Amino acid sequence: MKFKIRKCVNCKRYTLKNTCPVCGNQTKNPQPARFSPGDPYGKYRRLIKKQSSKKEECI
């Protein structure tokens, strides 16, 4: 079964639509990427996640 639920990036609400009915921003799939031990891009994803968490701490 595919997940059809989506999450608004701005207001953090869940919906089934591609745009948030409350604020009108784009929604995205809230499911994390599938884990693979041989993932060639895992290093880059972790780096971006670390950078974004540092940015949120500054705010």
Burial status of residue 15 (CB atoms within 10 A of its CB: 0-12, 13-18, 19 or more): middle
pLDDT beyond 80 at 58: no
What was the pLDDT predicted at 23?
A: 92
Alpha carbon distance 24, 34 (integer Å): 28
* pLDDT tens, residue by residue, 14-56: 999 999 999 999 999 888 777 778 888 888 988 998 998 876 6
Residue-range domain boundaries for the chain: 1-31
- What pTM was estimated for this model as a whole? 0.51
How high is the pLDDT of residue 20?
Answer: 92
